[in-house]
Amino acid sequence: MPMAVTINTLREYKQKGEAFAALTSYDATFAHAVSSAGVDVILIGDSLGMVLQGHDSTLPVTMEQMVYHTRAVAKGNQGALVVADMPFMSYGTTEQALNNAAELMRAGAQMVKLEGTDWMTDTISALSQRGVPVCAHLGLTPQFVNKFGGYKVQGRDEHHAEQMIEHACLLERAGADVIVLECVPAPLAARITQAVKAPVIGIGAGADTDGQVLVVHDMLGLTPGRPPRFVKNFLAESDSVQDAIKAYVDAVRRRQFPAEEHSFQA
Ligand SMILES: Nc1nc(=O)c2c([nH]1)NC[C@@H]1CN(c3ccc(C(=O)N[C@@H](CCC(=O)O)C(=O)O)cc3)CN21
Ligand SMILES: CC(C)C(=O)C(=O)O
Ligand SMILES: [Mg+2]
């Protein structure tokens, strides 16, 4: 078995300019499939509120549910880096964030992900200083859907673009080890990726981020309805789920995915 992926593995990929692949998993079977197909990062996403529970947002997801799924994923994982989403309002204060991040780490997470901007710097510092690796999620942060008024591309005008670059730098300085950029114009994602030393993982953020992530059910064509622009069905041209996941990893490493058709322009 290949050596387990750590935060240093992702930093090396960035230094070498080698793109890496991430996927969500919510259970042991998917975690096993994804990690044994060469995916470097598994995300236990709060998207499970939509994908598994059928809600129309991620807001109803609880800490108890995230802990349950994190335990299951940790059992099936074959050496990928395990990142768990902190659910809506589980990091409303720094004290809450420390307690809830500790629970996720005890359940088998190796890093926690938080959605937000400059207001999170103290919380990220506190987690980082106490040994909890942090991923900061910027751009379309689904926990803010009610503030955004929908799932809309973020950072389209130059003012908001510059603000997002500043936020990425602030969060990195606070201790963020990885940054996720969701639904931002490809040129802005490229600027942010260059501006920070931390590995940047994109979803709907173009081909120039350090890594890519998708919801695994989306890339297998299982999600009902019209998929977002950034989704590609990799099962359509594969003979099995395992082959589809391998095709995704291969396409990401070769920077063949995402193509223009999966990206947003300014
Ligand atoms: N199955 C699934 N996949 C995801 O990627 C995902 C979830 N669930 N749940 C949480 C969030 C919600 N996400 C979404 C949902 C919809 C769009 C969407 O419809 N985007 C439009 C862009 C609209 C615009 O141009 O501003 C699109 O056409 O892609 C994007 C991200 C991403 N996350
Ligand atoms: C789509 C990724 C980035 C996520 O946050 C999730 O699956 O919840
Ligand atoms: Mg999420």
pLDDT digits (tens, 9 = 90+) for 159-172: 999 999 999 999 99
Under 8 Å between Cβ of 68 and 49:
no
* Ligand 2 probe mutation, 112, 213, 229, most atoms within 8 A of CB: 213
Q: Measuring from atom 10 of ligand 1, which residue has the nearest CA?
A: 47
CA quadruple 233, 77, 74, 125: dihedral positive or negative? negative
Nearest-atom index, ligand 1, CA of 58? 10
Residue 1 pLDDT greater than 80, yes or no: no
3-class state of residue 198 by DSSP: coil
Regarding the beta carbon of 180 and ligand 2, being less than 6 Å apart is answered yes
Angle at 37 between CA 213 and CA 54, to 5 degrees: 50
Instruction: Render pLDDT for 105-146 as a digit per residue (tens, 0 to 9).
Output: 999 999 999 999 999 999 999 999 999 999 999 999 999 999
Nearest CA among 185, 257, 220 for reference residue 34? 220
- Average pLDDT along the chain: 98
Max CA pair span of the chain: 48
So what's the pLDDT on residue 230? 98
Give the global pTM: 0.98
Residue located via tokens 């999966």: 262
Whole-Å CA distances, 251 to 120, 246, 260:
34, 9, 14
Decide: 218 in ligand 1 pocket, CB within 6 A.
Answer: yes
Annotated binding site for Mg(2+): 46, 85, 115
3-class DSSP state of 138: strand
Q: Is 18 a catalytic residue?
A: no
Q: How far is CA 187 from CA 81, 83, 152, 184, 253, in A?
A: 27, 26, 17, 8, 20
**pLDDT at residue 266 in the model:** 81
Most informative mutation of 26, 39, 47 for ligand 2 (most atoms within 8 A of CB):
47
Question: Which pLDDT tens digit goes with each residue over 182-223?
Answer: 999 999 999 999 999 999 999 999 999 999 999 999 999 999
Rounded percentage of the chain residues whose pLDDT exceeds 70: 100
